[in-house]
Structure 1
Amino acid sequence: MPKIKSPNNIFVKLLLGFWLCSSLIIALIGILPLLQQNHDQTELPPSLEHLLSKVADKLKANPHLLQEDKLRRWGRFKEFNGRPVKIYLVDQNGRVLNSHKPSRSLRRFMLLADEAEQPIKHQFRDELIFGPYIFEANQQQYSLFGRLPDHHPRPWFFFFIDNKLLTLSIAIVLSGLLCGLFAWHLGKPLRSLKRSADALANGDLSSRVDTATAKRNDEIGQLAQAFNGMADSVEDMVNSQQRLISDISHELRTPLTRLKLSLALSRKKGQQTQEIDRIEYEADQLEKMIAELLELSRVKLNANESKHQLELAEALSQILDDADFEAQQQNKLLHIDIDDSIQVPIYPRPLTRAVENLLRNAIRYAVSQVTIQASITAKQLTLEIIDDGPGIPDQSDLEAIFKPFYRPQSARDRESGGWGLGLAIAEAAVSAHQGKIKADNCQPHGLKVTITLPR
């Protein structure tokens, strides 16, 4: 009786490996969110309920605090065990009365509380939200919610909820062990290609895939040859750019160094005149201008940068903090209207430099306030920076201010002390994103700069 041939071992190993890994991933996806919900969401403790009840008693005793002009004052900050707590007042229609733009976490918690049908607390990543506490005042029903900064360590397995890529990598490793020799034979050239790609990304422009992998007759060999060709082109391009920047820096800064040395020698000989002071001042200005030119060149070349999918508010947080501080020093107000949910693919360094230049320019010429706001659609991101300064009356200047070294004839830019490169750097950064930038005058006065970036 003829023997029945057993299935191919590689096929069986691949099948079992990927089946086990997919089953494991499905189980993790199904179980971990339930474990997280049970860990993060619990009943409202008496201490937090007492805090909300005190606020409710105060509102019932002082109904005038429910007036719109006083809502934000009492709900701004309170103390709970030495930590600041924010109180939110919600009407029976679910509208937050003392916050212009409720956070995404609060809106999500309100839905969780509706589903729970009882007061609860929920631990988010960096904050604890609790409520609702329902009370009546002025013959209307209100709800109180609280939010305070809080962070609790979570069980170790919750790490995989936030790192799905790592979970997938573990599944791939398990399947590789089950696949055995076949997976090893297939993975060896891929590991060689990965090592070369990592080395190239870390600045080793001479890194290439080894000859044995490049001579393979399959798709992996073709990929290795294409990678080596790409690496040759990248190395030639980067070396050319670096030589160009090095040559520019050397040619422009060498005579400046000699000039400053001559000035130092003149002072040493006792030749201290207004003319020498003026020459030194102009030399310093020229050195700063060269630095701006090199920055403009780097932004246009977009060297060593890669796009990242980031939250816009997080990417600009440091720039916005610095701009707010600078505005306060000049007794001016900076309004920021950027939703935390906005995410776009950006080159972080060029875009932040562009926004920084535009904000500093707006703060310099604003009379009392500057506004930065962002909106997003399915196709593009729109970022607007608006000041209430004198604006730029000449329409031709509005179209030309983003050109290098261009300075309008209006009073807005005659005494700025710059060289007309800040807006050029901003325009180069926006162009690197395949976006557009334009300036328009506001009525009755002011300037609005609009940046549009494709999604």
Structure 2
Amino acid sequence: MLKNNPFNRLFFKLLLGFWLCSSLIIALVSLLPLLQQNHDRSPLPPSLERMLKNVAERIQEQPQLLEGKNLQRLRHSRNKDGGRKHNGGPLRLYLIDGEGQVLNSKRVSRGFRRFQLMAEEADQPISHQFRDELIFGPYSFEVNSKPYQLFGRLPDNHPRPWFFFFADNKLLTAGLAILLSGLLCGLLAWYLGKPLRSLKHSANALARGDLSSRVDATTANRRDEMGQLAVAFNGMADAIEAMVNNQQRLMGDISHELRTPLTRLQLSLALARKKGQHSTELDRIEYEAQQQDALIGELLTLSRVTLNVSEKRLTAELTETLSQMLDDAEFEAEQQGKQLHIDIDESIRFNHLPRTLSRAIENLLRNAIRYAEQHIYIESQQTKNQVRIVVSDDGPGLAEKELEAIFAPFYRPDNARDRVSGGWGLGLAITQAAVDAHKGRILAKNQPSHGLIVTIDLPI
């Protein structure tokens, strides 16, 4: 674990990651000149030495070649002894006297001067591959007791490794080094950012009410601080889910237990009515008992929907699920002199909780019917990933600050909509719980003219 192996700590991973990345780039760039030098410079091969030796022996046999115009004949020579040649290219010779002067050429390339210095440093015959030529030598010999040295030059004689291209193009090499370091650092950032994205996703899901959201096992099994944080987050989520579920069960249990004395009270009232006992007090008790019974029923419904029990998911058409509820809502709207406009696509079919979803839409429609001036609308549409249900009305709307709070249990904003309401603020809370049970999202907003529009998005 972390305590036993400090190298599992995030600090060391960051340090080693960036250090190795920068060291690798520096090493690759720095090794190119050394590799090039080792590849280009080598001891004089026997075949090239034999070429120089043949020319030197010819000069020794014909000393007149060192005089006047005969020196020009030594500038170019074809390889007639089976030596190496490049695409039939000529062998060019450089004859140097004891004072280091080139005897057979007035113009000497900068590369040849560099090679002379290399040969002096090496203190032995060598060959060196320049970009477009191979220079080799020197071969030392004497003519009439005078020292001479012979050098040779051939056109580009052998292919160079592909990576030497970068040594010859410094700007391109620097750009590629920057790109490579960016890629390596990007991989490191992705490795470190992936668990953070997983944590963010799980935290957002938990904040939206998805109590089952957890950080994935891959992140939780990491042996650094990210893994510890993931384990701590999952433990916190477990505790929150257990706490909320226990609270909902407690509310459901209490509501259920209240049903027993309430039933006895209603039975006693019925017996009193049967005996002919009538009074204002009894009427008031009966009314409050009915209100209490309705409240307990709403609490039990909220508890069942929140805990998502006693109902199985079914794949069914939306029109089939909402059919009876829409008929009841249409009748209720007609009784109040209002009109319900229904536009439900009959082809929408998806997996959902029929009774829970029907209850959620029913609560929205009843609120819309209650507060609408004349028209209520319910529409639906299906995309590749979700089903959208929209309920709207032409009523007074809500204050902007209350558009999210209305879905909280027992929330009753002090505005025109709720002053005429006789509810307890549980209807929209049940709708919110039903949408959460479907892993969906609900949003309320005011229409540009007037009225409220509520949108439900359910994932398929």
- Name the TM-score, length of structure 1 as normaliser: 0.43
In our comparison, the structure showing a higher alpha carbon Rg is: 2
Given the two structures, how large is their TM-score scaled by the length of structure 2? Answer: 0.43
